[in-house]
Chains A and B, each alone.
Chain A
């Protein structure tokens, strides 16, 4: 199968600091790719580059190419919002929009131009069921989303991201603020979702990587040290740095 994302010669500078160094990697479609590495190795930056959230900061210089399908999203004339819509983003902590549960899920659809109330209601229910949240919130859809528990909020954020019908899910340590049960709920959901989506997840929890990763990218100091099928790397790391990281020598 063709890779979903191909990254070629990607370099990223913030001011004079070289944050991403010559990144070349293919991210396989419909697989769960996990990026691991010690803090500050550039994994979150790499994730945000895929979504061009790096545009938000004017101090960032990027060179290289990121192909999603045939399109180089770093040098495309297409509207940036269209590109971002192909990718759902799940942040480290849930950030519900300051509005009701219903409108959180409907937000992407509404700004995408869908106004029909019946369709909106159906889509919202569909995606809330998709993340196993419907039963818990169906009687209070019009309450502020901030009243949900953190675990529920994170599932709501996932539903919100799925509702704009992305091809790719980007997740930046999506369980780091969650309790063990909510963490498990998200992990199980990811395992199901990868049938239909390409998932790229950043984590620093090795257990999580072992459990759910299909493909693994190990980064250190802004470089990709090693990448490949997850079990291969976890069981037989080739590089010395990967070995050390897996043994817990540095974080």
Chain B
């Protein structure tokens, strides 16, 4: 009787303990983004003793030695590069996703899928190197044909490389979205006398629209934070880009190029931490936007 009871207590404690470990694991996962965000904020908030937030974001001058920490050129460069990347990647992804899910034979999708995954899995430094040897010279000669003499290291080069990097990512989401649209919807639309193109344009795209917006949001958030490849081709000159052939200096590049150096300069590390914090906020914003529309999309289906 005693032993039975002991056994019971032992088993029950074990049960509670294992459940506890699982819960602990979950708590760690949930807390991580907040801890990271909080850490960045704590490290950066010293700078607010001397400057206010909008001053830092709006100012164009970045001269740490004389205490000027304007983040505007970096934010603008990042926005430009991201915009170019999305403008290039989205139409390509959209068209190929529609083709793969509505026109192509089933085996094509089966073969293309792993190919997309390979593209998505390539280390970003490979895209960077490829950008340096292929995209940068191409941009240079393109600019030359407009009569502009530049090195080719530019926000356009950054945008193109980034577009190629986020393409498989967006494409994968879009394929899933178009696959989730039932074939019967196409069938009934065709039976009303619509052509294939009318069906795609008026029904399928409309049905997929929230999903397309999500994919774009998630694509932007990924593009915004991408570091190495963009850093290698964007030129990294601190000034407000005046055209797509001009060099830019995206936020992640600022961090990686400067963190760890000259941190004895007052407030320098705070400024960099603030840059990281802003980066985190922007990426989070687009991520949440993307997820939110996906949730709404699933409800409406």
Residues of A within 8 A of B (CB): 48, 51, 53, 56, 58-59, 81-82, 84-85, 87-89, 91-93, 95, 97-99, 107-108, 111-112, 146, 157, 160-161, 164, 170
Residues of chain B within 8 A (CB-CB) of A170 are 191
Is B191 touching A87 in the complex (CB atoms < 8 A)? yes
Residues of chain B within 8 A (CB-CB) of A48 are 187
Tell me whether B183 is interfacial, beta carbon within 8 Å.
yes
Is A89 touching B187 in the complex (CB atoms < 8 A)? yes
- Once A56-B183, A97-B203, A98-B203 are accepted as A-B contacts, the answer to whether A111 and B192 lie under 8 Å apart by CB is yes
Is B188 touching A157 in the complex (CB atoms < 8 A)? yes
Is B182 touching A108 in the complex (CB atoms < 8 A)? no
CA distance A58 to B193 in the complex (A): 20
Residues of chain A within 8 A (CB-CB) of B202 are 97, 107, 111
Tell me whether B300 is interfacial, beta carbon within 8 Å.
yes
Is B184 touching A93 in the complex (CB atoms < 8 A)? yes
Residues of chain B within 8 A (CB-CB) of A51 are 187, 191
Is A59 touching B192 in the complex (CB atoms < 8 A)? no
Residues of chain A within 8 A (CB-CB) of B189 are 97, 107
Residues of chain A within 8 A (CB-CB) of B300 are 146
Q: A84-B191, A97-B202, A157-B188 are in contact. List 13 more A-B contacts (CB 8 A).
A: A51-B191, A53-B190, A59-B105, A59-B106, A82-B193, A91-B187, A91-B188, A92-B184, A98-B207, A111-B198, A160-B188, A160-B192, A161-B188
CA distance A53 to B184 in the complex (A): 10
Is B188 touching A95 in the complex (CB atoms < 8 A)? yes
List 12 A-B residue pairs with CB atoms under 8 Å apart, sorted by A's residue number: A51-B187, A53-B191, A56-B186, A84-B192, A85-B193, A89-B187, A97-B189, A98-B207, A107-B194, A111-B202, A112-B193, A160-B188
CA distance A85 to B105 in the complex (A): 26
Which of A82, A88, A92, A146 touches B191 (beta carbons < 8 Å)? A88
CA distance A51 to B194 in the complex (A): 13
CB < 8 Å A-B pair total:
71
Is A56 touching B194 in the complex (CB atoms < 8 A)? no
Chain A: minimal CB distance from B26 (Å): 35
CA distance A56 to B185 in the complex (A): 12
Is A97 touching B185 in the complex (CB atoms < 8 A)? yes
B-side interface size class: 20 to 34
Residues of chain A within 8 A (CB-CB) of B186 are 56
Q: For chain B, residues 160 to 186, give those with C-beta under 8 angstroms from any C-beta of chain A.
A: 182-186
Tell me whether B206 is interfacial, beta carbon within 8 Å.
yes
Residues of chain A within 8 A (CB-CB) of B194 are 81, 107-108, 111
CA distance A111 to B188 in the complex (A): 14
Residues of chain A within 8 A (CB-CB) of B188 are 89, 91, 95, 97, 157, 160-161
Which of A53, A81, A93, A95 touches B193 (beta carbons < 8 Å)? A81
Residues of B within 8 A of A (CB): 105-106, 182-195, 198, 202-203, 206-207, 300
Is B185 touching A95 in the complex (CB atoms < 8 A)? yes
Residues of chain A within 8 A (CB-CB) of B192 are 84-85, 107-108, 111, 160-161, 164
Residues of chain B within 8 A (CB-CB) of A112 are 193
CA distance A161 to B207 in the complex (A): 20
Residues of chain A within 8 A (CB-CB) of B106 are 59
Chain A: minimal CB distance from B186 (Å): 7
Residues of chain B within 8 A (CB-CB) of A87 are 191
Residues of chain B within 8 A (CB-CB) of A107 are 189, 192, 194, 202
Which residue on B lies nearest to A103, using beta carbons? B202
Is B206 touching A99 in the complex (CB atoms < 8 A)? yes
Is B190 touching A84 in the complex (CB atoms < 8 A)? yes
Is A98 touching B184 in the complex (CB atoms < 8 A)? no
Is B105 touching A58 in the complex (CB atoms < 8 A)? yes
Is B193 touching A111 in the complex (CB atoms < 8 A)? yes
- Once A59-B105, A111-B198, A146-B300 are accepted as A-B contacts, the answer to whether A95 and B182 lie under 8 Å apart by CB is yes
Among A48, A56, A87: residue with most chain B CB under 10 A = A56
Chain B: minimal CB distance from A192 (Å): 21
CA distance A51 to B188 in the complex (A): 10
CA distance A206 to B143 in the complex (A): 73
Chain B: minimal CB distance from A163 (Å): 8
Which residue on A lies nearest to B191, using beta carbons? A89
Residues of chain A within 8 A (CB-CB) of B198 are 111
Which residue on B lies nearest to A99, using beta carbons? B206
Which residue on B lies nearest to A87, using beta carbons? B191
Among B185, B186, B188: residue with most chain A CB under 10 A = B188
Chain B: minimal CB distance from A5 (Å): 15
Among B182, B186, B187, B300: residue with most chain A CB under 10 A = B187
Which of B182, B183, B191, B203 touches A161 (beta carbons < 8 Å)? B191
Which residue on B lies nearest to A55, using beta carbons? B190
